[in-house]
Chains A and B, each alone.
Chain A
Amino acid sequence: MSRLNVVGFTVLIWLLAACQPSPREEPSSNRPLSVVTTTGLIADAVKNIGGDSLQVQALMGPGVDPHLYKATQGDLKKLTQADVILYNGLLLEGKMGEVLEKLSRIQPVIAVGEAVDQSKLLGSPLYENAFDPHIWFDVTLWKAAVGEVGRTLQQYDSARASFYEKNMQAYQRQLDSLHQEVLEEIGKIPNEQRVLITAHDAFEYFGRAYSIEVRGLQGLSTLSEFGLKYITDLVQFIIDRNIKAVFVETSISERSIKAVVEGCRKKGHQVVIGGSLYSDAMGQAGTPEGTYLGMVRANVQTITEALK
């Protein structure tokens, strides 16, 4: 094969690829607004505000760890054809978040998590602009994010603005009562038993909002490994405080938390796995846990039943 042939072949292939027509449609007033979200949680907020009057697709399905998510060819198509893209932000989506942030300069791309007042975010004491992205565990913070979703929909689909406004307010009232409900339920757990031990550090906001002490095995990154000493300390902590249950998460492996249960058993303290909590992703669509409201209720129920 001569050098010229290779070059010619290369050019031919690129031209073939370039000849594909661009599939992006022009937005029209009749066509429903097409919204693409990264997490299922944001898609749930969009559904509650927009109902059937718009199309919404979430890239990450149930049980997916957003820190490790990799896009497929079809996701790219969804992103380029969307009228509005909503993502969590606060570095939840990793590399994808960076791309979306850049894209926001030329296209309607909104980070709903960044609508939350920065003073209410949990950051790292050492670094600026590194916040805990798991805002949905504090219902009041999620309410602020839902407000951002509502404002965005009103802005890009102004014909239905009042419809979105009405639905958003109704949904935010539901969130207010959910917040009260969680406060009451968690309040039923005796004070000294109010400790939530999970696999990774996603529940800090939950702990702060509903006064429950939170201990995570892993750091924020799902890659970071737990130290041996940390496990020993945690086992001692569980025995000292006489804690009845620890929890696993739907999107994280159970292996690490099982090591803790085993450690306690060897020291003669019986601790059970209190159940599986929804942390970074919701349950299957169509089940009650497939919505934000259902997911929070399911988590609270699991926690109170195991710790009471």
Chain B
Amino acid sequence: MEAFWIIAAGSLVAIPCGLLGCYLILRQMAMVGDAISHAVLPGIVIAFFISGQREPISMLLGASILGVITTFLIEFFHTKARLQTDASIGVTFTWLFALGIILISVFAGKIDLDQDCVLYGEISYVPIDLWITANGTIMGPRVMYIMGAVFIVVLLFIIIGYKELFLTTFDPKFAAASGISVALWHYLLMGAVSFTTVGAFESVGAILVVALLIVPPATAYLLTENLQKMMLITAGLGVVVSFFGYYLAAWLDGSIAGAMSLVAGVLFAAAFLFSPQEGLLTRKKRMAFATNKDS
């Protein structure tokens, strides 16, 4: 059963992360996941000061609030200060992380407190991290419920907002002209990213989430020029990565998250070399994904 739960948890993380990652890549904001993974630190420290304990719920809450603040600040610096998105991401998460470090060294020197030991989960604990009710009934791995809920919310968000997300991603001017609020949909997308990544950090750890947010969509980007196909390929890749990643880790007796990220990287390399349109070895000319996506 361990194999099943880990592969299922990996897939449940990979699919929502990958679907949101498709939009992030097209909006040139791929590193926002990595930024959130660092920027949650002050949220954890402040949550600890308020609750006085390291229990997961207040940590998760503090991290989520900081996740939303991070994405908000990135957009704020980008639109109001006319800073490039990558620079805006860099400014935001470094100073938030630094704020967290300062808070720890000034106020919490005697407490073992950092994202690694209070927030980031580890995918190998999924089968033993069970949800046990008050009367002792075992309801199965806790992560399946958390990521199952995240999965459904993200899926509904993308299905309901597909048209708006599509237009605001590829042609914000046209979207604005047809009465869609570009800023609103941006914040909704970033809110979804922040909520998904924090939930996923808590379930399977940070590096795996950052990898799943970027690498499968980037691989799919090389294979198709159609957003729907890109998202379907990303979802499929998420499952393939979880499956082969788990068995690679079992074979090597290594870190499961590491093996999954490695498989994702190998698949990307394969797409890079052999993609029908963009592959290095297939020697076809690079074609525009959507000519006006940067306008």
Most buried by B among A16, A22, A71, A225: A71
Q: In the complex, which of the residues B101, B104, B125, B254 contacts A96, with contact meaning CB atoms closer than 8 Å? A: B125
Q: A77-B2, A219-B111 are in contact. List 18 more A-B contacts (CB 8 A).
A: A3-B232, A10-B239, A17-B7, A18-B3, A18-B4, A68-B116, A74-B253, A94-B117, A95-B117, A95-B120, A95-B122, A103-B128, A106-B138, A219-B112, A220-B111, A221-B111, A221-B117, A223-B104
Residue numbers of A with Cβ under 8 A of B are: 1, 3, 6, 9-10, 13-14, 16-18, 20, 22, 67-68, 70-77, 79-80, 91, 94-96, 98-99, 102-103, 105-106, 124-130, 132-133, 201, 219-221, 223-227
Instruction: Evaluate whether A73 and B246 lie within 8 angstroms (CB atoms) in the complex, with A1-B233, A221-B113, A221-B117 already known.
Output: yes
Chain A residue numbers with a CB within 8 Å of B53 are 127-130
B7, A106: Cβ atoms closer than 8 Å: no
Q: Which residues of A contact B138 (CB under 8 A)?
A: 106
Residue of A nearest to B259 (CB): A73
Determine if B286 is an interface residue (Cβ-Cβ < 8 Å): no
Indicate whether B146 reaches chain A with its CB closer than 8 angstroms.
Answer: no
Q: Which residues of B contact A16 (CB under 8 A)?
A: 243
The digit string for B107-129, where 1 denotes a CB below 8 A from any CB of A, is 01111111011111110110111
CB closest residue in chain B, given A100: B128
Interface residue B179 (Cβ < 8 Å from any Cβ of A): no
In the docked arrangement, what's the CA distance between A117 and B87, Å?
Answer: 52
Q: Is the CB of B236 within 8 A of A91?
A: no
How far is B140's CA from A18's CA once the two chains are assembled, in angstroms? 14
Nearest Cβ in chain B — how far from A139, in angstroms? 23
Chain A CB within 8 A of B153 CB: no
* Interface residue ranges, B against A (CB under 8 Å): 1-4, 7-8, 11, 52-54, 56, 101, 104-105, 108-114, 116-122, 124-125, 127-130, 132, 136, 138, 205, 229, 232-233, 235-236, 239-240, 243, 246, 249-250, 253-257, 259
Interface-central residue, A71, A98, A221, by most chain B CB under 10 Å? A221
Total number of residue pairs linking A and B with CB closer than 8 Å: 156
On chain A, the residues within 8 Å of B125 by CB distance are: 71, 76, 95-96, 99
In the complex, the 9 A-B pairs of residues with the closest C-beta atoms, listed nearest first: A94-B117, A219-B109, A74-B253, A223-B114, A18-B4, A124-B110, A73-B249, A221-B112, A71-B124
A220 lies within 8 A of B232 (CB): no
Q: In whole angstroms, how far apart are the Cα atoms of A272 and B122 in the complex?
A: 40
Choose one: A75, A94, A105, A132; the contact of B136 (CB below 8 Å). A105
Known A70-B122, A71-B122, A219-B104; contact A94-B112, beta-carbon cutoff 8 A: yes
Minimum CB–CB distance from A88 to chain B (whole Å) comes to 12
Complex Cα gap A72–B257 (Å): 9
Interface contact A72-B116, CB-CB below 8 Å: no
Are the CB atoms of B249 and A72 closer together than 8 Å? yes
Docked Cα-Cα span, A20 to B7, in Å, equals 12
Report if A76-B127 is in contact (Cβ < 8 Å); known contacts: A96-B122, A219-B110. yes
Rounded to whole angstroms, the CA-CA distance of A235 and B239 in the bound complex is 55
Instruction: Tell whether, in the assembled complex, residue B116 and residue A80 are in contact, meaning their CB atoms are under 8 Å apart.
Output: no
The one of B3, B118, B254 that contacts A94, using a Cβ cutoff of 8 Å: B118
Q: Do A14 and B7 have beta carbons less than 8 Å apart? A: yes
Q: Are B111 and A124 neighbours in the complex by a CB distance under 8 Å?
A: yes
When distances are taken between beta carbons in the complex, the residues of chain A under 8 Å from B3 are: 17-18, 20
**Complex alpha-carbon distance, A94 and B205, angstroms:** 13
Bound together, the chains give a CA A56 to CA B132 distance in angstroms of 28
A224 to B11, CA, bound (A): 34
**Residues A220 and B136 in contact in the complex (CB < 8 Å), given A71-B124, A79-B128, A96-B125:** no
B56: nearest residue on chain A (CB-CB)? A98
CB-based contact B8/A220 at 8 Å? no
* CB atoms of B105 and A219 under 8 A apart: yes
Q: Are A13 and B122 in contact (CB under 8 A)?
A: no
Task: Give Cα A14 to B12, complex, Å.
Answer: 12
